[in-house]
Amino acid sequence: MEGTHELKLIVSLASTAYPKLTVNFDLVIKPATCDCKLLDWIYPTAQTLVTTVLKEVPDTITINHAKVDPASKTTSPAIRACYRTTVPVGPGCDETTAITDVIEDGATLPTFMTRTGDVLTVSATSNTQVKIYTMKVTHSTKFELLPIVFNTVKIDLRVCVITNLDKPTAPTATEQKIFALTPLDINLSSPGFVQRPACGYALTQTFTWEIPAGAPITKTGDYVIRV
């Protein structure tokens, strides 16, 4: 019970030839003072974002926060005082955290990455940037003197992947008269199978035209037929 209690300490020896020693003293019991800094934190589980260079819609990853270890709420009188449910009720601890910084571990934040709050966006533009990035995440708490730092987030950046090729533009309506002096050439070279995204790869292409048998049409180039 809280308050001041008068106690008496009596010391006696095994031999009754010696007198007993009596010491009076006061025992003061005070409620423990809440100390939220005694809480322990559990780092978030590992997260990995797999993405590629020149993604049409850049990929994002939402970074998880560290959380309070529930077991640490009962390890000492001072921390139990924070969560006491009997009178006087404990004030509790504000377990809110906020991410304050994200960089590549041992370096800075790559220029093709941007962070808004907990969300990291990856907009890589060159295959020279390809590698696995280990990120150093820093976030603050309401009561810790030092920030919490962990490196459980990885960005697995891979080479550019072509997802589509632009088809040549269809020719405008044309006609060719019989016995015309000048042959009609139809050119389909534009846009010439543009890569989407623009990975810049040198493509090996094989062109095949399906021309009906007996038709007065011949192929004169990869993109050109003559009527």
- Give pLDDT tens digits for 66-104: 999 999 999 999 999 999 998 889 999 999 999 999 999
Lowest-confidence segment of 11-20, 32-41, 122-131 by average pLDDT: 11-20
Cβ atoms of 48 and 154 within 8 Å: the answer is: yes
In this structure, the answer to whether residues 171 and 154 fall within a common structural domain is: no
In this structure, the answer to whether residues 214 and 104 fall within a common structural domain is: no
The domain tally of the chain equals 2
Q: Which residue has the tokens 């998880």?
A: 64
Domain that holds residue 172: 162-227
DSSP-assigned letter for residue 81: H
In this structure, the answer to whether residues 49 and 121 fall within a common structural domain is: yes
Q: For 190-218, what is the mean pLDDT? A: 88
Query: Residue 120 and residue 102: Cα distance in Å, rounded?
Result: 9
In this structure, the answer to whether residues 149 and 44 fall within a common structural domain is: yes
Residue 101: which CATH number? 2.60.40.60
| pLDDT above 90: residue 116 | yes
- Give pLDDT tens digits for 49-60: 999 999 999 999
Query: Residue 151 and residue 135: Cα distance in Å, rounded?
Result: 6
In this structure, the answer to whether residues 126 and 200 fall within a common structural domain is: no
In this structure, the answer to whether residues 130 and 81 fall within a common structural domain is: yes
69-77 long-range contacts (CB < 8 A, ≥24 apart) are 69/39, 69/40, 69/41, 69/42, 71/40, 72/38, 72/39, 72/40, 73/39, 75/38, 76/38, 77/32
Peptide linkage before 191 cis (omega within 30 of 0): yes
Lowest-confidence segment of 29-33, 101-105, 145-149, 219-223 by average pLDDT: 29-33
In this structure, the answer to whether residues 192 and 140 fall within a common structural domain is: no
Q: How many CA atoms lie within 13 A of 98 on its CB side?
A: 6
10 assigned to some structural domain? no
Share the mean pLDDT of the chain.
91
3-state helix, strand, coil in the chain (%, to 5): 5, 35, 55
Q: What's the pLDDT band for 188 if we cut at 50, 70, 90?
A: confident
pLDDT, residue 154, reads 98
In this structure, the answer to whether residues 129 and 150 fall within a common structural domain is: yes
- In three-state secondary structure terms, 36 is helix
190 assigned to some structural domain? yes
Q: What's the pLDDT band for 2 if we cut at 50, 70, 90?
A: low
In the structure encoding, which two tokens stand for residue 62, read together?
């939402």
